[in-house]
Amino acid sequence: MTKNVRLGGTDLYVNPIGLGTNAVGGHNIYPNLNEETGKETVHVAIKNGINFLDTAYMYGPERSEILIGEVLKEQGKRDEIILATKGAQRYVDGKVILDNSPAFLKQTVENSLKRLQTDYIDLFYIHFPDEGTPKDEAVGALKELRDEGKIRAIGVSNFSMEQLEEANKDGYVDVIQGHYNLFRREAEKDFLPYTKEHNISFIPYFPLASGLLGGKYTKETTFEDGRARNPLFQGEAFIQNLEKVERLREIADSKNAEVAHVVLAWYLTQDSIDAVIPGAKKPEQVVHNLKTLDVTLTQSEIELIHSIFI
């Protein structure tokens, strides 16, 4: 039985392995998605003990929230699920406009509640900061919604360190979601010390670096999507990165695990990282991610992984 962990100072307790659902209805992110497969992926996640689901208005847009809402209605286990979603965008003439104004955020939450077919959201994030709204005012609007019971916890995503400090001026921020993985560790210099000090949970996105930390690629692997333009996947850097991943494979083999399991397990040893939310396009990937919970890293292994990617 998996022991659920507390997110920061909230009263939300989650399986440390959650599910990122941008591939569930996220047609604007991944082409040729099968929605029934996406729904089945969520069903299998819940059946296997995952209770932390992460979605967003922009996945689809809207479609991911709608599908998640359908699954929760079919499951009939809403009170057992910690449901996170994100918003801060609207479309104007086909363009995405960021809006953190209190009035817009309140309407965004109302819209998400309808799509998700629920009367409360466990964790609502401001998905992206806009340029004009004071961040403490934006979070203040979410505090009002928390007081009303429409959300249970307040999150911010993609905020700079300065924006996080402004957003948390009154101490209302519970969770921050940010870009962090073994190849991108800037958060260790500012975000992780701050979140530890303020009892805020840090949830990393892109934890497997677009698959590079999954251990499935070789020197011969080619890419035709956005990874082809990512410096991590280009030229000599790609070769060197693969060599680092191979060193992780030695640790994984010694534990009868896979590279991705070791990587995710390492994140969970870091201060403030209470949970990770790897994505999945198919049900079997969910089951694969859960094998992370069988991996226990020794202190020397934790330090070795740190040194490989420093």
Establish if 307 belongs to a structural domain. no
Given a cut of 90, whether residue 225 has pLDDT beyond it is no
Contact 154, 172 (CB under 8 A): yes
SS3 content of the chain, % helix, strand, coil (to 5): 45, 15, 40
Section 132-158 average pLDDT: 98
The pLDDT of residue 1 is above 60: no
Q: Is residue 279 part of a domain?
A: yes
Q: Which residue numbers are catalytic?
A: 59
User: In this predicted model, what pLDDT tens digit does every residue of 15-51 receive, in sequence order?
Assistant: 999 999 999 999 999 989 999 999 999 999 999 999 9
| Domain-embedded: residue 145 | yes
Peptide bond into 61 cis (omega under 30): yes
Closest CA to 54 of 64, 39, 63, 44: 64
* pLDDT tens per residue, range 173-220: 999 999 999 999 999 999 999 999 999 999 999 999 999 999 999 999
> Structurally, how many domains does the chain consist of?
1
**Domain containing 111: what range?**
5-211+258-296
* Mean of pLDDT values over 297-306: 98
pLDDT of residue 148: 98
The string of pLDDT tens digits covering residues 179-188 is 999 999 999 9
Query: What value, to the nearest 5°, has the Cα angle with vertex 301 and ends 220 and 215?
Result: 20
- Looking at the domain assignment, is residue 155 inside a domain? yes
pLDDT of res. 66: 98
Phi-psi region of 149 (alpha: psi -120 to 50; beta: other; left: phi over 0): left
Torsion sign, CA atoms 46, 48, 51, 54? negative
Residue 272: inside a domain = yes
Provide the CATH number for the domain around residue 58. Answer: 3.20.20.100
pLDDT for 77-99, tens place per residue? 999 999 999 999 998 888 999 99
Pairing of strands 5-6, 121-126: unpaired
| 175 vs 172: CA distance, rounded Å | 9
Read off the amino acid at residue 16.
P
pLDDT in tens, 228-243: 899 999 999 999 999 9
* pLDDT for 224 beyond 90: no
Query: Considering the domain boundaries, does residue 217 fall inside one?
Result: no
Average pLDDT over residues 120-149: 98
Residue 196 lies in a domain: yes
Per-residue confidence (pLDDT) for residue 211, from 0 to 100: 92
| This prediction's pTM | 0.96
- In this predicted model, what pLDDT tens digit does every residue of 238-276 receive, in sequence order? 999 999 999 999 999 999 999 999 999 999 999 999 999
Whole-angstrom CA distances from 202 to 72, 90, 194 are: 25, 26, 10
- Region 123-132: what's the mean pLDDT? 98
233 in a domain, yes or no? no
